[in-house]
Structure formats: structure tokens, C-alpha cells
Structure 1
């Protein structure tokens, strides 16, 4: 069974690499964000996973905050919204051969965690993106959590949202690491569930709204897990 999962992982990874190649080659040939959207759909269809959506996307949302378990999370978000997404990711990913180009071409936002000037650049880049009506999308945990418990949310999301008075919409993704896990070289087709929560306008006077949001998102995740055996 493990051998089959490893072979499936290799197949899925080849599909992902091929789709990213398509995106890079066609980026300047197609109106944005079509090259990225088509690439995401090629991955979703080619790897035989589907997505069930609960709740409604707010068309006025300026920021999506999403829990992070798997590389599939990006594909899920790109295929459940038609909006032009701007991903915020650590600078090391932008420096990677090939994959980094898939982030640089759409002018996503790179974050240098150890840089003293990183915060200034982050705010400057966010203002640039907001003028283009793209949706800033972040994994506030900062890295993948595969055990079902969300990691503490980092302050970057709150700083951007508070500084620009953004309308934020949280999105809870269920068990994506169960289907695609790069650390364990594991993949199997399945049905992922994405839950849009109610949007809200960031209130910088509330120092705890980000940590409170983590508690709320975790509760939604836990309740869904408890009430839907399919996710286990």
C-alpha cells in the first residue's frame, strides 16, 4: 500500500511540475490570472482530487487567511475563487529554481523573516498589490501543520490587515495533508473540503483578533472532523 502511495505521489508531483511549466510558458501569453488558474485546474483534474465548498466567498474580501497543511492548499484556493490571488511566502521559496519563477512572474510577495527592513517592504508590497484589486492570501501559521492542530498565527497578517483596514475572510481547509504530503512522499486522490467563514474588517484596536481567529478556525476544523467521519 505504501509503495502504491509513493508511486502515486511521484505521478502527482510530475503533474504539478508539468502544470507549473505550462503556467510559466503561458504567463505573458494569457490575460492574468488565467495561466495560474488553468495550471491549478490541470493539477486538480490530473491528480483526480475534488473540492467541496461550504459557505460563500465574499467578493469584497481583500485578504484570505488559510490554514496550511499541504502543497495542495494553493491549488484548492486557486480553483475555488476566480479572483487574482497574491500569495505571501518566505523569500527562500522565491529563490528556488523553477518553482520560484512561478511566484516571481505574478509578482507575489516575498517575506524575509530575518531582515530588519522586511516589515517595511511587506507593507509597501501590500499597498502595491491592493491597488490592483488582487486578494492578498496568507498562511498565517507560516509553515505547514499536518497533525490537525493549527500552529500559532504569525503577526504579519495582522500588521497588513490593520495597516490597510482590510476586509478579511478566513478559509478552513480540511485534511489536505491526508491526500498529498511531500515529507512522507504520499499521495492519494480524494475529496477536499474548503469552508469559507464570515468576513470581517480588521480592527487594529483589538490586539487579539488574530489569535482569536485561530481559535475560531480551529473550532470549525475540529467540529467538521468530529461530525464528518470521511475526513478521518
Structure 2
């Protein structure tokens, strides 16, 4: 069984890598964001997983905030919205050969943790992205949380949203690590659920809105898990 599981994981990983290569090769040929969307849809279809969407995307949203469990989370988001997404990711990811190019080409936003100068750059890059009508998209936890409990949200999301008075829409992804986990060499096809929550305008006078949002998203996650046995 372990050998079969490793072979399945290897297949899904190869699918992801090939799809990224296609995205890189077609990026300057196809109108944006079609190259990235094409790659995401190839992964979704050839890795044999389906997505159930609950709620509605706000077409005026300027920032998406998602919980993060798996590399599939990017694919999920890219295939449930037609919008041109500007991902905010750790600077180290941009320096990884091949994968980093898939972030640099669309001009995603690199952020360096614990750096004041990086925060200034983040605000400047975010402002530039907003002018192009792309949607700033962040995993406010800053890293994956695969145990069903969301990690504390980093302040960067609040700083960017508050500084620009962004319309923020949270999205809860259910159990994506159950289907693809790169650290545990695990993959299986299945159905993943994405839940759009109500959007809101960031208000910097509310010092706790980001931490309150984490509590709200965790409750949505827990309730869905409790009421839908297929997620277990």
C-alpha cells in the first residue's frame, strides 16, 4: 500500500511540474491570466479532483484570504475564479529554480519575513497590483496547517488591507491536505470544498478584525467538518 501511495503521489507531483512548465512556456503567448489558469485546470483535471463551491465570489473583492493546507490550494483558487490573482509568497519561493519562475513571470509579490524594508516593498507592490485590477491573495497563516487548526494570522494581511482600505473576501478550504501532502508523500483524488464568506471593507480602526476573522473562519471549518462526514 505504501508503494502504491508513493506512486500516486509521484504521478500527481509530475502532473504539477508538467503543468507549471506549460504555464511558463505559454505565459507570453496567451493573454494573462490564461497561462496560469490553463496550468491550474490541467492539474485539476489530470489529478482527478473535483471542487465544490459554496457561497459567491464578490466581483469587487480586492483581496482574498485563504487558509492553507496543501499545494493544491493555489490550484483550487485559480480554477474557481476568473480573476487575475497576485499571490503573496515568501521571498525564498521566488529563488527556487523553475518554481520561482512560475511566480516571477506573473509578477507575484515576494515578502521577506521579519524585515521592515520588505514590509515597505510589500505595501508598494500591493498598491501597484491594485491599480491593475488584480486580486491580492494571501495565506495569512504564513505556512501550511494540516491538523485542522488554523495558525495565528500574520499581521501583513491586515497592514496591506488597512493601508488601501481593501474589500476583503475570506475563503475557507476544506481538508485539501487530505488529498495532497508534499511532506508526507501523500495523494489521492477526491472532492475538495471551497467556501466563500461575505466580503468586507478593511477598517484600520478595528485592531482585531484579522484575529476575529481567524476565529470566524475556524468556526466555519469546524462546522463544515462536523456536519459533512465526507471531509473526515
* TMscore range, shorter length: over 0.9
Alignment partner of 1:7 is 2:7: yes
- Structure 1 length normalisation: TM-score? 0.99
Q: Which residue of 1 aligns with 2:117?
A: 117
Cα distance in 2 between the residues matched to 1:6 and 1:152: 32
Cα distance in 2 between the residues matched to 1:176 and 1:207: 30
Say which is worse superposed, 92-101 or 109-118, in terms of deviation: 109-118
Q: Which residue of 1 aligns with 2:160?
A: 160
Task: State the Cα RMSD in Å.
Answer: 0.5
Q: Which runs of 5+ in 2 are unaligned?
A: none
- Structure 2 length normalisation: TM-score? 0.99
Number of equivalences: 232
Q: Which residue of 2 aligns with 1:54?
A: 54
Cα distance in 1 between the residues matched to 2:133 and 2:3: 45
Q: Which residue of 1 aligns with 2:183?
A: 183
Residues 101-155 of structure 1, C-alpha deviations (whole Å, 9 max, x = no match): 0000000000011333011000000000000000000000000000000000000
Residues 155-191 of structure 1, C-alpha deviations (whole Å, 9 max, x = no match): 0000000000000000000000000000100000000
Q: Which residue of 2 aligns with 1:126?
A: 126
Shift of 1:3: 2.0
Cα distance in 2 between the residues matched to 1:173 and 1:146: 12
Q: Which runs of 5+ in 1 are unaligned?
A: none
Q: Which runs of 4+ in 1 moved over 6 A?
A: none
Residues 64-116 of structure 1, C-alpha deviations (whole Å, 9 max, x = no match): 00000000000000000000000000000000000000000000000011333
Shift of 1:6: 1.1
Cα distance in 1 between the residues matched to 2:81 and 2:5: 29
Cα distance in 2 between the residues matched to 1:42 and 1:207: 41
